[in-house]
Amino acid sequence: MNINRYKALVVVLWHGFKRDYISMLMAFLLPILFFTSMVHIQNNMTGDSVTDNTKIGILDLDKSTFSKEISEQLGALDGVKIKFEPVIDLNVEDIGSYLVDNNLSAMIIFPKDMAINYTKRHSKSVEIDIIEDRSNPIYRGVIVPVLDNTLKQLVTLTALKYTPIALMANVEPFKIGSSIDVIIKHQLAFKTNSNVDLNAMYSAAGLGVLFLLFSMAGGGATIIDDRDSGILQRTLSTGVTSSMIILSRWFFLLILGGVQVILMFIWGEIVFGIGLLEGHKLGGFILLTLVTSSAAAALGIVFAVICNSRMQLNAISTIVILVMSALGGSLFPRYLMSEQLLTVGSYTFNSWALVGYQKLLWYDLGIESIVTELAVLTIIGGLLLFVALLTARRWH
């Protein structure tokens, strides 16, 4: 007898599920789509692609035949999985911001008078400077030794062509190459981040944005609850407009999401030391957090006004948020991604938020450095809010 009751209850649930065919489709199709997306993303972050993504600039201040030949040979290398890009007309003091804006791991600098010091002043050494951003652990652990060895070999072979006769006179022919000393000086582009736990900072930003999106989707779902219970229609009958309801929910979610992210970073600062209170970062951090939260809140409300049930919202929001987070860097570090994935990820506001947090907390570049990120996030949030306001008109 009890079995029949259980069976009847299951049948009722099945019919309710079947009536919402969109939810049924999402329940079976979206996990497959997400699985396929994750496989493609991971395939683009394995093997040689990890080092292929490393880009290093070449700044030739010497502008001699000697330095130009070294630059050309670096650009023509096939066996080294590093992309070398010549840089023209760049001030040394602007190298740090140039590395960040152009996604470069380091800048090789051929100093002025490098060739003259070697060929005319009879120096037995060639000095090269490398200014680097060590936020990428792949660069720190893999690229640095490869880069040093490659430069030393290449510079030594090139220097042999320009070795003065005076230096060759007292050196046995087979020892000429070993007599050339290639001195590589490594310098950090950013010295203010020495005490910052980069992994903790990146995790706080990535996971903070990820859970912010899920919270905003859950907060927006209360609109569906109000609609199903009749509260929404009773509220509209009092003279309150749909725009008032949307904007008030958006503002409430904005504040709620902002507090959530701020608490995440405060915990990261207390436990791991992510550099939140160093320098003048706090003001830019709060501004970026509120702008990011406003965009996420608008997305959560869009989910609520376009979905007909909570089941639809859960399915659609979950897949959209997970895919955006994977492409945008919340689930996988951006330095592991190929150029193609970085380009696709730039269409998600996860990516813009993460870049903004990294500029503020790791590079300590100040509010002026995140103007682009703030503008893009504001535009995204404004467009999403506009879509929500238009869609909500059907409530009337």
**Chain segment 124-150, per-residue pLDDT in tens:** 678 888 888 877 777 777 778 888 888
Q: In what order do the strands lie in the sheet with 181-188?
A: 83-87, 55-60, 106-110, 125-132, 181-188
Domain boundary among the residues 188, 211, 239 is at 188
| Residues pairing with 108 in the sheet | 58, 130
- Per the listing, tokens 């939140």 go with 276
**Average pLDDT value for residue range 308-312:** 84
Q: Examine the domain organization and report whether 380 and 240 are in the same domain.
A: yes
**Average pLDDT value for residue range 164-170:** 46
Q: Average pLDDT of the chain?
A: 80
Flag whether 23 is in a domain.
no
Q: Examine the domain organization and report whether 181 and 239 are in the same domain.
A: no
Q: Of 165 and 274, which is predicted with more confidence?
A: 274
Q: Examine the domain organization and report whether 231 and 355 are in the same domain.
A: yes
Flag whether 30 is in a domain.
no
Whether the predicted pLDDT of 279 surpasses 50:
yes
Flag whether 130 is in a domain.
yes
Q: Of 378 and 87, which is predicted with more confidence?
A: 378
Work out the end-to-end distance of the chain between its first and last CA atoms, rounded to an integer number of angstroms. Answer: 48
Whether the predicted pLDDT of 79 surpasses 60:
no
Whether the predicted pLDDT of 351 surpasses 60:
yes
Q: Of 180 and 322, which is predicted with more confidence?
A: 322
Flag whether 147 is in a domain.
yes
Q: Of 388 and 23, which is predicted with more confidence?
A: 388
pLDDT tens-digit profile of 49-72? 555 567 888 888 888 888 888 888
Q: Rounded to 5 degrees, what angle do the CA atoms 63, 66, 71 make?
A: 75
pLDDT value of position 41: 63
pTM of the predicted model as reported, rounded to 2 decimal places: 0.77
Parent domain of 353: 195-395
Q: Select from 265, 95, 259 the least CA-distant residue to 191.
A: 95
Flag whether 26 is in a domain.
no
Domain boundary among the residues 188, 207, 222 is at 188
Domain boundary among the residues 188, 219, 254 is at 188
Q: Examine the domain organization and report whether 92 and 139 are in the same domain.
A: yes
Find the range with the poorest average confidence among 56-65, 251-260, 329-338, 377-386: 329-338
Q: Examine the domain organization and report whether 75 and 126 are in the same domain.
A: yes
To the nearest whole percent, how much of the chain has pLDDT over 70? 81
Q: At 14, which amino acid appears?
A: W
Q: How confident is the model at residue 318 (pLDDT cuts 50, 70, 90)?
A: confident
The CATH number for 174's domain is: 3.40.1710
Q: Examine the domain organization and report whether 164 and 199 are in the same domain.
A: no
pLDDT tens-digit profile of 281-292? 888 999 999 999
pLDDT tens-digit profile of 195-223? 667 778 888 888 899 999 999 999 988 89
Q: Examine the domain organization and report whether 109 and 219 are in the same domain.
A: no
Whether the predicted pLDDT of 171 surpasses 50:
no
Q: Examine the domain organization and report whether 240 and 384 are in the same domain.
A: yes
Find the range with the poorest average confidence among 212-216, 285-289, 345-349, 383-387: 345-349
pLDDT value of position 169: 44
Q: Examine the domain organization and report whether 167 and 245 are in the same domain.
A: no
- Is the Cα dihedral 227, 229, 233, 234 positive or negative? negative
Q: Select from 196, 238, 251 the least CA-distant residue to 362.
A: 196
Q: Examine the domain organization and report whether 202 and 328 are in the same domain.
A: yes
Flag whether 14 is in a domain.
no
Task: Write the DSSP symbol of residue 54.
Answer: -
Flag whether 85 is in a domain.
yes
Q: Examine the domain organization and report whether 209 and 86 are in the same domain.
A: no
Q: Which residue stretches of the chain are H helix?
A: 2-19, 21-43, 49-52, 65-75, 95-101, 114-119, 137-138, 144-161, 165-168, 198-220, 222-229, 231-236, 242-271, 282-306, 310-328, 339-345, 349-361, 371-391
Q: At 318, which amino acid appears?
A: T
Domains in the chain, number: 2
CB 136 within 8 A of CB 198: no
Flag whether 22 is in a domain.
no
Q: Examine the domain organization and report whether 310 and 354 are in the same domain.
A: yes
